[in-house]
């Protein structure tokens, strides 16, 4: 009993932090790539898409986790998609009403949150098997990791493509924008190179046992 | 009339290629493109489902949602239609064409979460295509996906023998190749004028 109380926090914390680096959805698991590439020509759009996806992910993870014992195994995927689609409709209508500019920029990619494999994947792998508080922590971490990745990619592309970050001018007049970074090829190229960089950093951290101390899985669980 | 259909078709396959212009279906594009055979199977399975989804989505929009005045149920309805259609197609193929099922069996369930299909269904509603145009659009988009994934698989089979920097191995180099491919497809943009 005492052990259970002692170890409760690290499990949730681990569920939360693993989405940030070790299992970062964009750079490590490579899921949810369609919106990642499509909307990150500006940092602001990337951030908005990340937040919209996070909201859907957190809300549907909680709902799926609450109903996990009631949903029959055979129809679980359609049920998850239905729950996700409902929340995406809410997000879409909310953005249309409150932030028409962002809604216009993200355009057809908002409904595609439904089929974002990140969300469906988390329901299948995590939320359908774990209690609600852990599912929420996991969804929060994954959503945050996704949002940060999108914003980072958006910042790189916006900086090189138009010399601004979040529409603030950063590079002076002498800088000639690389228009290609705003077009589809630039999206692929910059994400590819960023993956390479992340791999180098990750290898560096693993050899030096650096900034991100790992939680011991055995200690955390029993 | 025929000219318009050809324009829609060429636009969907080459100019507005779903993968390289709109970034749709990137997950299968990265995941299944490591060998030519499975890439082609995946491509044709997707084309098949898309060609069926297009008219069905059109009918649902025009005969059900518009008649009942429920435009906000669009997302939910379309995704249910796609999911059940994929299931249905899988059952039919399994029953009547076992050989075909064996070739593309494992890819069929994955198609439900291919965003290209939902995007296609929503676009043909947004662009107010006629039924015939929708069918051509659906088929063309599927073919465009097949084209992109096949080219990618061909290149990746060759690149296995190349000396790729260690940090770029796997998805990194695949994305960079996709970038170069997208650059080529940008060049096709002047082929026709698309709205």
For residue A222, pLDDT over 50 is answered with no
Chain A residues whose CB is inside 8 A of the B122 CB are 108, 111
* Interface contact B179, partner A, CB < 8 A: yes
Residue A181 in contact with residue A161, Cβ under 8 Å?
yes
Chain B residues whose CB is inside 8 A of the A30 CB are 27, 30, 171
B122 vs B141: CA distance, rounded Å: 13
Chain A residues whose CB is inside 8 A of the B76 CB are 82, 85-86, 89
| CA distance, residue B95 to nearest chain A CA (Å) | 20
Query: Quick check: helix, strand or coil at residue B61?
Result: helix
* Interface contact B124, partner A, CB < 8 A: no
Chain B residues whose CB is inside 8 A of the A192 CB are 168, 171-176, 178-179
Between residues 86 and 115 of chain A, which touch chain B (CB distance below 8 Å)?
86, 88-89, 92-93, 108, 111-112, 114-115
| Terminal Cα-to-Cα distance of chain A (whole angstroms) | 11
Q: Which residues span the domain enclosing A57?
A: 2-221
> How far, rounded to the nearest angstrom, does the alpha carbon of residue A38 sit from its chain's CA centroid?
14
B132 vs B139: CA distance, rounded Å: 11
pLDDT in tens, A48-105: 999 999 999 999 999 999 999 999 988 888 889 889 999 999 999 999 999 999 999 8
| ipTM > 0.95, yes or no | no
Q: Per-residue pLDDT for chain B (195 aa), expressed as one digit of tens each?
A: 888 899 889 888 888 899 998 889 888 888 888 888 888 888 888 898 899 999 999 999 999 888 888 888 888 888 888 888 888 888 888 888 888 777 666 677 778 778 889 999 999 888 889 999 999 999 999 999 999 999 999 999 998 888 888 888 888 899 999 999 999 988 887 777 654
| Terminal Cα-to-Cα distance of chain B (whole angstroms) | 17
* Interface contact A195, partner B, CB < 8 A: yes
The tokens 């929503």 sit on which residue? B122
For residue A119, the chain B residue with the least C-alpha distance is: B113
The Cα-based distances of A217 to A29, A207, B2 in angstroms read 19, 19, 63
The Cα-based distances of A26 to A50, A145, A191, B121, B152 in angstroms read 11, 8, 10, 26, 21
**Burial letters for A52-90: b for 16+ Cβ neighbours within 10 Å, e otherwise?**
bbbbbbbbbbbbbbeebeebeeeeebbbbbbbbbbbbbe
Query: Quick check: helix, strand or coil at residue A187?
Result: helix
Residue B27 in contact with residue B149, Cβ under 8 Å?
no
Q: What mean pLDDT comes out for the span A136-148?
A: 94
| CA distance, residue A50 to nearest chain B CA (Å) | 16
pLDDT in tens, B44-59: 888 988 999 999 999 9
Work out the burial of residue B7: count CB atoms within 10 Å of its CB; fewer than 13 is exposed, 13-18 middle, 19 or more buried.
middle
Between residues 6 and 35 of chain A, which touch chain B (CB distance below 8 Å)?
30-31, 33-34
Nearest to A200 among B72, B118, B167 (CB): B167
pLDDT in tens, A185-220: 999 999 999 999 998 888 888 876 555 555 444 444
Stated as kind and residue range, the H or E segment containing A19 is none
A132 vs A115: CA distance, rounded Å: 23
Nearest to A184 among B21, B74, B172 (CB): B21
Counting the structural domains of chain A, the total is 1
Query: Quick check: helix, strand or coil at residue A135?
Result: helix
Chain A, chain B: beta-carbon pairs less than 8 Å apart: 120
| CA distance, residue B98 to nearest chain A CA (Å) | 23
Query: Quick check: helix, strand or coil at residue A165?
Result: strand
Nearest to A61 by CA among A141, A135, A144, A145: A135
| Residue A221 confidence class, pLDDT cut points 50, 70, 90 | very low
Q: What mean pLDDT comes out for the span A110-139?
A: 90
Q: What mean pLDDT comes out for the span A169-176?
A: 82
- H helical segments located in B11-130: 26-31, 36-59, 66-68, 74-96, 98-104, 108-111, 115-126
The token duo for B49 is 């489902």
The pLDDT of residue A2 is: 47
For residue A177, give the DSSP letter. Answer: -
B35 vs B157: CA distance, rounded Å: 6
For residue B176, the chain A residue with the least C-alpha distance is: A189
The Cα-based distances of A85 to A114, A122, A213, B11 in angstroms read 5, 15, 37, 29
């Amino acid at each position: 009993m005492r052990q259970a109380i002692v170890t409760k926090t690290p499990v949730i914390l681990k569920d939360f932090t693993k989405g940030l680096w070790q299992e970062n959805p964009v750079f490590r698991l490579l899921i949810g790539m369609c919106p990642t590439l499509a909307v990150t020509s500006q940092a602001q759009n990337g951030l908005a898409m990340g937040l919209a996806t996070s909201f859907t992910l957190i809300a549907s993870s909680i709902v799926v986790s609450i109903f996990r014992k009631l949903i029959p195994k055979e129809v679980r995927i359609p049920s998850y998609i239905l729950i996700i689609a409902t929340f995406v409709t809410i997000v879409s209508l909310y953005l249309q009403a409150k932030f028409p500019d962002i809604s216009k920029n993200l355009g057809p990619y908002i409904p595609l949150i439904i089929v974002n494999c990140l969300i469906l994947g988390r329901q299948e792998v995590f939320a359908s098997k774990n209690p609600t508080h852990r599912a929420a922590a996991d969804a929060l971490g994954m959503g945050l990791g996704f949002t940060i990745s999108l914003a980072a990619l958006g910042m790189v592309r916006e900086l090189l493509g138009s010399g601004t970050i979040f529409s603030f001018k950063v590079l002076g007049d002498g800088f000639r924008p690389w228009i290609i970074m705003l077009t589809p090829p630039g999206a692929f190229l910059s994400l590819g190179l960023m993956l390479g960089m992340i791999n180098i950093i990750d290898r560096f951290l693993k050899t030096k046992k650096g900034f991100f101390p790992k939680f011991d899985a055995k200690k955390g669980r029993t | 009339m025929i000219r318009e259909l050809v324009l829609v078709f060429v636009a969907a396959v080459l100019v507005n290629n779903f993968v390289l212009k709109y970034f749709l279906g990137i997950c299968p594009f990265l995941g299944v493109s490591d060998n030519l055979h499975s890439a082609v199977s995946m491509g044709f399975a997707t084309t098949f489902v898309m060609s069926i989804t297009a008219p069905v989505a059109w009918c649902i929009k025009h005969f059900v949602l518009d008649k009942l005045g429920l435009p906000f149920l669009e997302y939910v309805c379309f995704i249910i239609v796609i999911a059940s259609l994929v299931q249905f197609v899988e059952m039919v193929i399994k029953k009547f064409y076992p050989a075909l099922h064996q070739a593309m069996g494992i890819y069929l369930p994955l198609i439900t979460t291919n965003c290209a299909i939902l995007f296609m269904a929503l676009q043909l509603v947004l662009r107010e295509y006629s039924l015939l145009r929708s069918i051509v659009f659906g088929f063309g988009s599927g073919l465009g996906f097949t084209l992109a994934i096949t080219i990618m698989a061909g290149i990746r089979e060759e690149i296995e023998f190349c000396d790729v920097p260690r940090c770029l191995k796997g998805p990194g180099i695949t994305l960079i190749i996709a970038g170069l491919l997208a650059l080529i497809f940008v060049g096709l943009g002047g082929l026709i004028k698309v709205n």
